[in-house]
Structure 1
Amino acid sequence: MALRTALAMILALAAAGPALADGVLPGKLSADDRQRLETFDSVRGEAIGAARESDDKAAVATLDQILSGKPQAIRGATDLAGTWRCRVAKLGGSDTLPLVIYGWFRCRITDDAAGLRLDKISGSQRTAGTFYDDANADRLTYVGTAYYSYEGKSKPYGSDAERDQVAYLVRVGPDRLRLEFPSPHLESQFDIMELERSR
């Protein structure tokens, strides 16, 4: 009886607590996406270098602001859920257009029994996916898919390799995050989504 009571209490506490990022990346993560994560640092450095060669000095200044802030511990964070404003910087697209920064849109992070999830909920180009714990406590791994607003919703990861996305999420302030996508399939060499808490 005591054991049953203890188990019931543990289950109740687990149900009441926040759902955190899953501890294990899905086994179905493609070889291509694993390779993208493995080359993250080198691709990031090359793309940032190319972007800073842009003739658009205002855009370069904005990129520097986006890149500001030292990553903080994020594993186990319980305050990420909510609505965020988000914008994307595309780096290293071409010699003539090495940096493009889009305007602000809306994103939502949800924290429930399904885990910690991200949805970009405005704009024509969208993303939806799940966060997973990483060996590095200062980041989470994002696995998701890209889709267009007219499609209504995203397809499951793995159903279209050209839409599959992987990224690392870092926290650089109480109300600032960066989601960094290495080697996107379209338009650029490296994408950075900056997220700021909506008030």
Structure 2
Amino acid sequence: MRSFLSLLPPALAAFLLPSCASSGGAEERLIPTWRALATEDDRRRLREWRDAWTEALDEARAAGHSAEIAAEGALLEPDSALPGSALPSGDYRCRTIKLGSRGDDGLAFVAYPAFRCRVTPGADGLLHLAKVGGSQRPVGRLLEEHNRWMIFLGTLQLGDERSALSYGRDRERNLAGRLERVGEQRWRIAFPFPHFESLLDVLELVPAS
């Protein structure tokens, strides 16, 4: 997997390179904030997260999917986040639920089977998350924001692509979401207003073992 700095514009990557402290020469690591890294478009999408939830759920229920939504419990309740959002490193079973549609002929509710995701600590001091299987694979980093959520910034890797595009290179591939814990061993990343297909994507993560 490529380093976090390789996902950034050159000027910002250079700014984030480790520097030496004036006392003792110890190496310091500057952990960036998500606002410093996110594109303007992604900052807007994250600000509108509640609008995405409302529109997506309303459309899915109007299309007859109330029972499926209720069956998912806290996963599809916008205000169900619990304290302690940090996601432990390891392998996860992750599945995507798409809510709402960006077109008149789209589906208002689609639940995909689970694939494997992996969370690893990076040398950059951030958690790296990558979906290992499937035709649409989020790849990115998790940044601290609040006790009840973290911010995911990354890109969408498609089909048989062997590597992910750098974040910010292709607006349509950029991903921005809120990671929240919604159960004892259950997390989600909610992606408001994704550029493809739906109004809201919810990626559920539960430990693989």
Common fold by TM > 0.5? yes
CA distance in structure 2 between the partners assigned to 1:62 and 1:86 by the alignment: 17
After TM superposition, the structure 1 = structure 2 runs for residues 8-157 of structure 1, keeping only pairs within 5 Å, are 22=31, 24-25=33-34, 27-56=36-65, 59-64=68-73, 66-67=75-76, 70-74=80-84, 77=86, 80-93=88-101, 94=103, 97-114=107-124, 115-134=126-145, 136-157=146-167
- When the two structures are aligned, how many residues end up with a matched partner? 182
Deviations 1:91-112 (A, max 9, x none): 1115662111111111111113
**Structure 2 residue 193 is the aligned partner of structure 1 residue 191:** no
Deviations 1:113-151 (A, max 9, x none): 2210110001111010001111x3200000000011401
CA distance in structure 2 between the partners assigned to 1:35 and 1:126 by the alignment: 23
Asked if 2 retains the 8 angstrom alpha-carbon contact of 1:63 and 1:89, the reply is no
- What TM-score results when the alignment is normalised by the length of structure 1? 0.80
- Percent of aligned pairs with the same amino acid: 34
Q: 1:23 to 1:73 in 2, by over 3 A?
A: farther
Q: 1:65 deviation in Å?
A: 5.7
Structure 1 unaligned blocks of 5 or more: 1-5, 16-21
Taking only aligned residues, the RMSD between alpha carbons, in angstroms, comes to: 2.6
Q: 1:63 deviation in Å?
A: 3.9
CA distance in structure 1 between the partners assigned to 2:75 and 2:182 by the alignment: 10
CA distance in structure 2 between the partners assigned to 1:181 and 1:85 by the alignment: 18
Asked if 2 retains the 8 angstrom alpha-carbon contact of 1:59 and 1:100, the reply is no
CA distance in structure 1 between the partners assigned to 2:132 and 2:71 by the alignment: 23
CA distance in structure 1 between the partners assigned to 2:147 and 2:173 by the alignment: 27
Deviations 1:43-80 (A, max 9, x none): 212211211223346533444463269322235x4x61
After TM superposition, the structure 1 = structure 2 runs for residues 163-178 of structure 1, keeping only pairs within 5 Å, are 163-178=173-188
Structure 2 unaligned blocks of 5 or more: 1-22
Q: Which amino acid aligns with 1:85?
A: R
Match of 1:158, SS state, is coil
Q: Which amino acid aligns with 1:60?
A: I
- What TM-score results when the alignment is normalised by the length of structure 2? 0.77
